[in-house]
Amino acid sequence: MKSKSLQLCSTSLLAAICAVACGSDDEGTPSLPASAADAVSNYADIVYASYADSLAAAQELDTAVQSFVDAPSETGLAAARTAWINSREPYLQTEVYRFYDGPIDNADDGPEGLINAWPLDENYIDYVIDGEDDGIINDPDVAMADIDKDLIVGANEGIDEKSISTGYHAIEFLLWGQDTDPNGPGDRPFTDYVVGDDGTAANQDKRGQYLRTVSELLVDNLQTLVDAWDPDGDDNYRAEFLALPPAEAMGKIMSGMIILSGFETGGERVQAALDTHDQEDEHSCFSDNTHRDMVQDVRGVRNVWTGSYVRTNRMTVEGTSLRDVIAAGDADVAQRISARIDTSLSLAGDIEPPFDQEIAPGNAAGNARVEALAESLFEQRVVLEEAFQVYGLTRIPDPE
């Protein structure tokens, strides 16, 4: 199957994208309305609220993890797994804030690679089938006292981009273990954390220490993002962002929407997995939570477009939206963007868990559902590109 990401690279489309990226010199290009500044400010409010929700959910996860490691049990492991799944719901909606050198993925100190890096080679962290001595946890040269935040952060991508040592997916693997069941998630026994004769696998104490530490690191890194966007913060990124000309800020915001839609979710996560039919290309493969990754990524794009975010406490943050600003210049473009995002969200919701069975060879219906989502996300990218022409905004290119 030819990748849709490759299909997007046709000469005609690249020419169109280049024209959009370079802005418009047409004398007829309208000026941004005054409401653009309000839309940018409302965006900053949504960013802060969704990162604050992500931090709170990660703190609840950390509480569950620490309790489980203190007294390992089947019930405790189930509680930690549930807390992990819950923590993903707000965080996935924040991925649309990436790709413009903001606090999450700033080239110098952005923590994205410590929070949500993927794919992950399991045997870099812990034992796997046919590798019971693998990983940092089972390395005889790494004592329990050595397992701290500095060691784990220093080990991240220590060999290559798949040698991930920390973040959501490291925690996921430590809670579920490898997924060897085609019809369900991983099934790591809680006894992997029981120290003594009743424990399973080796180095239970080191495994517990590792899990404690990566959980704490997740909280630390999310706190930096909350601080960066805090409306009461002094001289933080939010203040710098709101001081930008509205056209520059909108170019950043919409570039994040476009790159997440087409390059990242549509290409790297959906189409790539469908092309290979390989479970290893599934985003949340240990927990079989990938279907929610798709839904919440698209929901994050819609939050930004509509200027509305429903918080985990069910309160809503809302105000002037990008949709309002684009509609003031070209109502037709705005309507088509709205319709396409709604379609993508509906198609993401149609994906049936587990995702690895949707992409399995021979599952024609599942493959068709995944293909439909990929195609819609690529169309979403294209129609969002049109919005740049409305006011001659500058588009940030896709990552290489």
Question: Each residue of 218-257: pLDDT tens digit?
Answer: 999 999 999 999 999 889 999 999 999 999 999 999 999 9
Q: What is the pLDDT of residues 287-302, one digit of tens each?
A: 999 999 999 999 999 9
Query: Count of CB atoms within 10 A of residue 18's CB?
Result: 11
Is the pLDDT at 272 greater than 70, yes or no? Answer: yes
- DSSP letters spanning 158-222: SSSTT---SSHHHHHHHHH-----TTS-----GGGG--STT--SS-HHHHHHHHHHHHHHHHHHH
Statement: residue 12 has pLDDT above 60: no
The whole-number pLDDT of residue 15 equals: 34
In this structure, which amino acid lies at residue 307? Answer: G
Tokens of 46: 């949504």
- Give pLDDT, residue 178: 94
SS3 399: coil
To the nearest whole percent, how much of the chain has pLDDT over 70? 93
Could you tell me which CATH number the domain at 4-391 has?
A: 1.20.1420.20
For range 8-29, the mean pLDDT = 41
pLDDT above 90 covers what percent of the chain? Answer: 86
Residue 30 has a pLDDT of: 82
Q: What is the mean predicted confidence (pLDDT) over 353-366?
A: 95
Q: Tell me the pLDDT tens digit for each residue of 137-195.
A: 999 999 999 999 999 999 999 999 999 999 999 999 999 999 988 888 999 999 999 99
Residue 242 pLDDT:
97
> How many CB atoms sit inside 10 A of residue 35's CB?
16
In the Cβ-directed half-sphere of 200, how many Cα atoms lie within 13 Å? 9
Please state, in angstroms and rounded to a whole number, the distance separating the CA atoms of residues 215 and 7.
Answer: 40
* H/E element, 316: strand 316-318
Over residues 317-346, mean pLDDT: 98
Residue 260 has pLDDT above 70, yes or no: yes
Instruction: Please state the rounded mean pLDDT for residues 17-24.
Output: 38
- Residue ranges of alpha helices (H) inside the chain are 4-7, 11-21, 35-70, 74-92, 112-115, 149-155, 168-176, 204-229, 237-242, 246-259, 272-276, 290-306, 322-329, 331-350, 355-358, 364-391
Per DSSP, the three-state class of 318 is strand
Grade residue 27 by pLDDT with cuts at 50, 70 and 90.
low
* Confidence (pLDDT) at 18: 37
pLDDT at 1 over 60: no
Q: What mean pLDDT is predicted for residues 305-311?
A: 98
Q: What pLDDT sits at residue 181? A: 85
Token pair 């969002």 is found at 384
Domain boundaries, the chain: 4-391
Local confidence band at 280 (pLDDT 50, 70, 90 cut-offs)? confident
What's the chain's average pLDDT? Answer: 92
Contact indicator for 275, 374 with CB cutoff of 8 Å: no
Residues 67, 189: Cα–Cα separation, whole Å: 16
Mean pLDDT, residues 312-340 taken together: 98
